[in-house]
Structure 1
Amino acid sequence: MLFIDLDGFKAINDSLGHGVGDDLLQVCAERLRQDLRHTDMVARLGGDEFVIVAENLADASSAVAIANGVLQRLAQEIVVNGLPLRVSASIGIAFYPCDGGNADELLHSADAAMYAAKQSGRNTFREFEPQMNHTALKSLILQRDLHRALSDDELSVSFQPKFGVASQSVTGVEALVRWRHPELGDIPPLEFIPIAERSGLIISIGDWVLREVCRNIALWDAQGLPAISVAVNLSPIQFNVPDLVDRIDALIEEAGVDPCRLMFEITETTAMQNIENTSRTIEALQGRGYTVAVDDFGTGYSSLGYLQRFRFDQIKIDGSFMRDLDASGHRGNALLAAVVTLARALQIEVVAEGVETESQFQTLSELACDQMQGFLLSRPLPAGEVVAFLRAAADRVVVGQGSYAVSAG
């Protein structure tokens, strides 16, 4: 049994309407049926979840072949009402009778394996393993407790500084949400953010983060600290909310914060889900005075052509590029140099994430990369420590973005 959950469907359905969503599901269902045997069965469980039941397979590799075929077919662009759309899938595989003695048990095991695939980054598959039941149960507990976390002040925001490569001046900070569970301790964002997205809580959490960012900006300003910019991450669900820009404007106006103090980051994958909507939203945000960055560059579609299409203000190169600098030598350097050269031609700032070694820093200097961020320079700082950090760094803080940036000292 293969349990299939479409990645990115909810964002498309919420932003473009149920009509487009229904048409997209029909195309996905047709692609699921392709290349299967006449004895195999495909069924929709509900929402964006499907199941394939394949009997009398020769061995486990046959199920893996089916999963790979599904991933390849679903990854191809789908045009609905003239709109080019992309989805992927997370697939869980379970085998009878070792993973379940009846249909319910088999479905439960396949569902747990699917969740493991989501946790592994999506657009992949996983075969069921017994410990996955524990992971799925923990996910349900976290989803339940995440509702409480918002109201009981269990969430917090930390800020990780960004630095100029040439001057090592402070160029901004990135807001990062944290969750300290009263019984389980610190829950990693990579664990609870996907749960928040699946449950719909990500919208409320996003609003809370933005309010906290604005509250801290007001606090820093009241103490006469440099007017540093703050980057805020937008999840795919948030970015595709129809009234996103108006929603942000309302929160910012309520807090009395200048839009130029805020940068919003989206991932490559988010940007490519709906190209037209992405272009409109970026233009609307920039028109209001916000800046926009593409985050984790190099982990998604990695199409250099879309950088010109979307007019980002900043590219944040994923930390895997930094690790490749150490592992791949000249090849890693060449890839990074190509991105920096193109970005400079397009007048887009480049920030290297995950800088952890002196050799990485040296390479970034030689390539004239604009900015860097990582544990070599500073770990994320709890909100209570940022005031002291900004005060100590006041003479080397850069205020503003891009060509408008000036030293606060």
Structure 2
Amino acid sequence: MTKRQLIIHSLLLVIFTTIVFVSIANYSSTKEYVQTSVKRETTELVSSFANESNRYSYERIVELELIADYLPKVLQDEKELVLYLNKQNKKMPFFAGLSFIQKDGSVLTADGYEFHVKQEESFKKALRGEVAFSETFNLHQDPNQKVTAISLPVYENNKIVGVLSGVVNMADVIGAMTEESRLPGSVFLLNKAEVVFSSAEKSIKDLVPDYMKMVDSTDANKIGSFEIDKNDAHFLAYAHTWNDFIILVDSSVNPDRAQLNEARWQNGFIIFITFAVVIAIALYVRHLENQKRNMMKRDLLTGLANGVQMEDDFHETIKEQETSPFAMYFVSIDSFNEWKERIGYQLSDQIIFAFSKKIRHVVGKSPLYRVGEEEFLIIHYADSRREHERFASRIINAMEYPVHMGGEAPIWLTVSIGICPSDIGKDMDTMLLKASYVNDEARKKGGNQIIYMDAELARVVEQNRLIHKELEHALEREEFYLVYQPIYEIASDSIVSFETLMRWKSPILGEVYPSDFIPLVEENNQIIPIGRWLIRKVALQINAWQKEGYENFTVTLNVSVKQLEDPEFINDVRKILRETKVATSKLIFEMTESVIAQNIDDSANVLSTLNSLGIKTALDDFGTGYSSLSILRMLPFQYIKIDRAFVWEMESDGGMSKSILKGVLKIANDLQLETIVEGVETDSQLEQVKQMGAKRIQGYYISKPVDPVSAINRLGVFECY
């Protein structure tokens, strides 16, 4: 086995061991996260239900006390007493029934029934001046209802003359709470040993056979939890309520527990695949090594060392000189593909050859490699960043002289150079990755640039790598969520609309800024499925708000250029509208001028189709492009959102932005277009745009983006943020 093979096999072993370790650590981390998350959610849920139950009981007692204070005025007239109890019972739908109990135990109900008291213990406590809760019993008027009675004394002239009893169905109360919640667990309500409510399909005994032993041991603590099976994140949380009920929450239906099985399967699968890949690579490397002994390690066109030689040199020569600081230079010819299309392949090869001679003369004895069609690598030793940049400048300066190719006209070339020093990453792959990254950044800035990879830029590269990695599965993991920024209408002095904004909270990266991930989803076409998800999510949110009774509002959402270019965009929109049955009059699709300007004809067709579906459209960031006025004339928009830059610069550019803003608003109003001015952050800005004729306002002064509940609670009102 050659040294190279030994190194590769060792690296494969390290990679496999690392992946196994990481997989085990990942599973352990997932397991710990799920256990902690499920236990916390289960405990929080039982605490929430207990608090709500206690609050509910206290409110009912207060209501009964108010009724009891009035009862002495009608006690002498039984008919009037029944009438009063019946009237109060209708006002208070929380009670299944109200009744007055004489000291001899005869019961008179709000609907006129008379019978002898059955809950003797709570009745006697009330006669002693206590507020008492009974055990559950079948309601006299409706035996199908299991209820509990809240009893308290009725005083007349400081003497107890009877007992007022309010009957409540705690199972209905807990049931109503479960309907309003997304439960990460099964909820059970116990009175003594009896289960009076269950949100689960299975009985508590099927889920936790020994639950009564656990319940019996909880008397000393008002709230707590038991570990049924910690490895499987199965917990049972309990809480004693003020009225002697016990609420249990079982975590067996918590959706987070599914992550454990997924993590076991995924990490086991990763280890298996890694093992198979490592074995395959080891066998393939052995085969390649036999071939590589006879392969040329020089680039045929330029005569320079190629990537294979660079790898050998890096591992066998350069790494032996670890005490000497060096850097990897990634050099590329700017706009080479354009040159190739213009002059053809043969002349472009001549350019590469001439360039290689020029750069070889500049770098001297420093190792030089051709690693791509127009890409070269240089290894150069120097003690400081300044020396590295000075060396790179010599390459830039050498391009001041044109490349001559026989009878052809001379060609002036420029290059982009990315530099990665050895203290940032001493292994070849890391240095190559980072040198390539800064070279790309130099190209993006127009070329003829030198960018040096420092520690801060290396951190950014690593962060971008992590974002790229986590972003691939963010949608399927449901890590995206939506917030809504209220839009204020001047005419009604109220909030009438909301702009939808997407946010990403990654379990690995935490909250990621939209500016860090939105461009990436645009680049890798993830915006197509994410856009579909966003439209569907907004449609469902509109439906939810309407079910809650809210009507007078619209919701705007942004549509990207990739979505407009997608031939299935309109079909996707139609499908979502059919499935959600959302009121299309509530939807406004926003598009920026840069998106529209790329293809006016196609954009016009899309906008017209959306309008025909009942969806209004808005031109976003109006005023930032060069063709805004013509776009207004050519495309069917109903709204114009004026870019925030005009508002921000109203008082800092000598009134220029203010004049332009005033003119834009007048044009929009003359065209009978609704205007939305973005970026309002102060009271002064709000007053100024009002006076200019703005119709709707958006900005932090009105409100920051908020969650759906906070947003809809602001509908129809306006209080500055």
Normalising by the residue count of structure 2, what TM-score does the alignment of the two structures yield? 0.41
Task: Indicate how the Cα distance of structure 1 residues 51 and 296 shifts in structure 2: closer, same or farther if over 3 A, else same.
Answer: farther
CA distance in 1, matches of 2:395, 2:601: 41
Deviations 1:33-65 (A, max 9, x none): 9xxx96569xxxxxxxx9688x99977987999
Structure 1 range deviating more: 323-332 or 162-171: 162-171
Would the alpha carbon gap of residues 52 and 235 (structure 1) be closer, same or farther in structure 2, given more than 3 Å must change?
farther
Does the CA-based 8 Å contact 2:639-2:675 persist in structure 1?
Answer: yes
Aligned match for 2:417, one of 79, 94, 99: 94
Which residue identity does 2:594 align to in structure 1?
T
1:179 to 504, 527, 548: 504
Offset, 1:95: 4.6
What CA distance in whole angstroms lies between the structure 2 residues aligned with 1:3 and 1:173?
Answer: 48
Secondary structure at 1:271 match in 2: helix
**Residue 295 of structure 1: how far off its partner (Å):** 1.2
Report the Cα offset of residue 218 of structure 1.
1.0
Out of 600, 604, 607, which is 1:282 matched to? 607
Match of 1:251 in 2: 576
Matched, 1:109 2:432: no
The corresponding residue for 1:206 is 531
Q: What is the aligned residue count?
A: 336
Q: Is the 8 A contact 1:2 1:51 kept in 2?
A: yes
Residues 217 and 178 of structure 1: CA distance in aligned 2, closer, same or farther (over 3 Å): same
CA-to-partner distance for each residue in 1:326-372, whole Å, 9 max, x for gaps?
31241111111121122223222221111101221122012111211
Q: Is it true that 1:216 corresponds to 2:576 in the alignment?
A: no
Counterpart contact for 2:419–2:451, Cα < 8 Å = no
Structure 1 Cα separation of the partners of residues 686 and 541 of structure 2:
30
Aligned position for 2:624? 299
The answer to whether the 8 A contact 1:265-1:295 is kept is yes
Return 5+ residue gaps in structure 2 as ranges.
1-330, 357-372, 379-390, 401-414
**In structure 1, distance between residues paired with 2:558 and 2:432:** 37
Q: Distance in 2 between matches of 1:380 and 1:133?
A: 32
1:127 shift after superposition:
4.0
Q: Deviations over 1:136-183 (max 9, x none)?
A: 332222122123322222211101111123443223111111111113
1:230 Cα deviation after fit: 0.7
- Confirm or deny that 1:351 pairs with 2:676: yes
Cα distance between partner residues in 2 of 1:165 and 1:4: 53
Could you say if the C-alpha distance between residues 385 and 64 of structure 1 is closer, same or farther in structure 2, counting changes exceeding 3 Å? farther
For residue 595 of structure 2, the aligned residue among 267, 270, 275 is: 270
Cα 1:395–1:358 change in 2 (3 A) is closer
Aligned counterpart, 1:21 = none
Residue 143 of structure 1 contacts residue 196 of structure 1 at CA under 8 Å; is this kept in 2? Answer: no
8 Å CA contact 1:143, 1:199 repeated in 2: no
SS in structure 1 of the partner of residue 528 of structure 2: helix
Alpha-carbon separation, structure 2, partners of 1:97 and 1:204: 36
Q: Tell me, which stretches of 5 or more residues in structure 1 are unaligned? A: 6-24, 42-49, 66-91, 397-409
In structure 2, C-alpha distance between the alignment counterparts of 1:299 and 1:269, rounded to whole Å: 9
Deviation at 1:270, TM superposition (A): 0.7
1:11 matched residue in structure 2: none
Q: Contact conserved, 1:3 with 1:111, CA < 8 A, in 2?
A: no
- Which region of structure 1 is more displaced relative to structure 2, 185-194 or 109-118? 109-118
* Structure 1 residues 29 and 364: CA distance shift in structure 2, 3 A: farther
After superposition, the CA RMSD in angstroms is: 4.1
Counterpart position of 2:689? 364
Partner of 1:86: none
For 1:333 and 1:364, how far apart are their aligned partners in 2?
9
Alpha-carbon distance between aligned partners in 2 of 1:229 and 1:64, rounded to the nearest angstrom: 58
Give the superposition deviation at 1:3: 8.4
Are residues 302 and 322 of structure 1, via their aligned partners in 2, closer, same or farther at CA, if it must alter by over 3 Å?
Answer: farther
**Counterparts of 1:64 and 1:364, CA distance in 2:** 53
Query: Secondary structure of the residue that 2:649 maps to in structure 1?
Result: helix
Q: Matched residues in 1 for 2:333 and 2:555: separation?
A: 40
Q: Who is 1:146 aligned against? A: 471
Corresponding residue for residue 74 of structure 2? none
Please report how far the alpha carbon of residue 4 of structure 1 lies from its aligned counterpart in structure 2 after TM superposition.
7.7
Matched, 1:261 2:586: yes
The letter of the residue matching 2:629 is L
Structure 2 equivalent of residue 20 of structure 1: none
Is residue 434–residue 453 contact of structure 2 (8 Å, CA) maintained in 1?
A: no
| Higher relative contact order, chain-length normalized (CA < 8 Å, sep 6+) | 1
Match of residue 84 from structure 2: none
Q: Is this contact kept in 2: 1:113–1:132, CA < 8 A?
A: no
CA distances 1:212-235 after superposition (whole Å, capped 9, x unpaired): 111111111111112411101112
Over residues 201-222 of structure 1, what are the superposed CA-to-partner deviations in whole Å (9 max), with x where a residue is unaligned? 1111111111211111111111
TM superposition shift of 1:128: 4.8
Contact 2:494–2:717 under 8 Å retained in 1: no
